[in-house]
């Protein structure tokens, strides 16, 4: 599949993050809970290797709770602080803030060890991630809770402001933008299925068929799918994903003249339902 992604964007994004990361103590890496691997660009581990890090699995309301729990364990087993959130839930925003504050204490302990004198430092936090994972939502929600803006710090472009989260923590109000890594097997498709890539640039029918195949592989998701579109298990026994998509389109009245199914429309219906959680809480990657 051909996904347009211009190298120029990548270079710019990388330079932007490099410029800002020097000022940062704590990086909050936001991933999509449904696809923690495909929504991660590992370059952040390199760029932020000397920083303290928190992984936030966002959009947990759309992901499979059992898989999310396993992912949290996975990150924690790799010595990475990890929480799962739904950023429209104020309690989850509080959890992010509390976790940042805890992490600030770790930074403090490190600095005290190195500097060997007591002081009252400010820890600077960056929210980073690929497009559409929810960075701006999280920043805006944290900003609403902590509406004091701090004056500009040197070395940061004028548009960047710091949000005072507590007496020791400043959050940069502009997220660190990473690009999705599309080189990995199927990462681009999974990003499309979760709505992290604009579908205008994709072959909708192929993506939809791939999505249907993924769901049918897991009994639990297959049941959700059949239930959602009122399809009988026996009726799809001998059908491939394209035929199933056609059946779905027929059930949903996606028709063109002559009674044929409008496959583009059927693809759109399925993809919108999947990414918005209308089929159910579904994770596309498991640990
Ligand atoms: N269901 C759900 N949607 C979310 C959540 N967080 C963000 N979104 C939605 O995801 C989309 C992208 O969010 P945005 O903050 O603009 O992402 P950014 O590109 O990383 O800054 C928006 O439509 C948000 O409303 C979440 O926890 N759950
Ligand atoms: Mg944004």
What CATH number has the domain spanning 203-275? 1.10.1580.10
pLDDT of residue 3: 55
- Could you tell me the pLDDT band of residue 197, with boundaries at 50, 70 and 90? confident
Q: Domain map of the chain by residue range?
A: 7-177, 203-275
- Could you tell me the pLDDT band of residue 125, with boundaries at 50, 70 and 90? very high
- Could you tell me the pLDDT band of residue 117, with boundaries at 50, 70 and 90? low
With residues binned 3-state (H G I as helix, E B as strand, rest as coil), the percentages for the chain, rounded to 5, are 50, 15, 40
**Protein residue whose Cα sits closest to atom 5 of ligand 1:** 59
Pocket of ligand 1 (CB under 6 A): 58-59, 61-62, 86-88, 129, 131-137, 175
Please report which helix (H) or strand (E) contains residue 24, including its range.
none
Rounded to two decimals, the pTM is 0.92
**Protein residue whose Cα sits closest to atom 28 of ligand 1:** 59
**Residue 166 CA, ligand 2 centroid: distance in Å:** 23
> Counting atoms of ligand 1 from 1, which one is nearest the CA of 276?
1
**Which of 183, 155, 153 is CA-nearest to residue 170?**
153
**Residue 94 CA, ligand 2 centroid: distance in Å:** 20
**Best mutation site among 31, 40, 86, 134 for ligand 1, i.e. most ligand atoms within 8 A of its Cβ?**
134
- Could you tell me the pLDDT band of residue 185, with boundaries at 50, 70 and 90? low
Over residues 3-24, the pLDDT tens digits come to: 555 567 778 888 889 999 999 9
pLDDT of residue 199: 67
Which whole number is the average pLDDT over 163-178? 93
What CATH number has the domain spanning 7-177? 3.40.50.300
Integer Cα distance of 275 and 287 in angstroms: 20
pLDDT of residue 118: 60
Q: Which range is least confidently modeled, 85-89, 162-166, 224-228?
A: 162-166
């Amino acid at each position: 599949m051909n996904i347009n992604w211009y190298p120029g964007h990548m270079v710019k994004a990388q330079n932007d993050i490099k410029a800002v990361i020097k000022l940062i103590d704590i990086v909050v890496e936001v991933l999509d809970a449904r696809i923690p691997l495909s929504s991660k660009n590992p370059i952040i581990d390199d760029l932020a290797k000397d920083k303290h890090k928190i992984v936030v699995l966002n959009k947990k309301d759309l992901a499979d709770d059992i898989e999310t729990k396993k992912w949290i364990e996975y990150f924690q087993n790799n010595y990475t602080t990890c929480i799962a959130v739904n950023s429209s839930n104020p309690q989850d925003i509080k959890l992010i803030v509390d976790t940042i504050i805890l992490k600030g204490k770790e930074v403090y302990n490190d600095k005290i060890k190195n500097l060997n004198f007591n002081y009252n430092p400010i820890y600077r936090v960056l929210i980073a991630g690929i497009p559409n994972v929810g960075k701006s939502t999280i920043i805006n929600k944290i900003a609403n809770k902590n509406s004091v803006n701090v004056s500009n710090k040197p070395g940061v472009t004028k548009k960047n402001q710091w949000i005072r989260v507590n007496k020791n923590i400043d959050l940069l109000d502009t997220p660190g933008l990473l690009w999705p890594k599309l080189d990995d097997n199927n990462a681009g498709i999974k990003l499309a299925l979760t709505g992290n890539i604009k579908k205008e640039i994709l072959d909708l029918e192929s993506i939809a068929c791939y999505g249907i195949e993924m769901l049918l592989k897991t009994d639990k998701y297959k049941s959700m799918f059949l239930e959602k579109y009122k399809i009988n298990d026996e009726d799809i026994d001998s059908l491939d994903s394209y035929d199933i998509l056609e059946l779905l389109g027929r059930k949903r009245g996606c028709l063109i003249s002559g009674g044929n199914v409008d496959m583009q429309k059927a693809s759109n219906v399925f993809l919108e339902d999947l990414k918005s959680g209308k089929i159910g809480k579904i994770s596309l990657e498991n640990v």
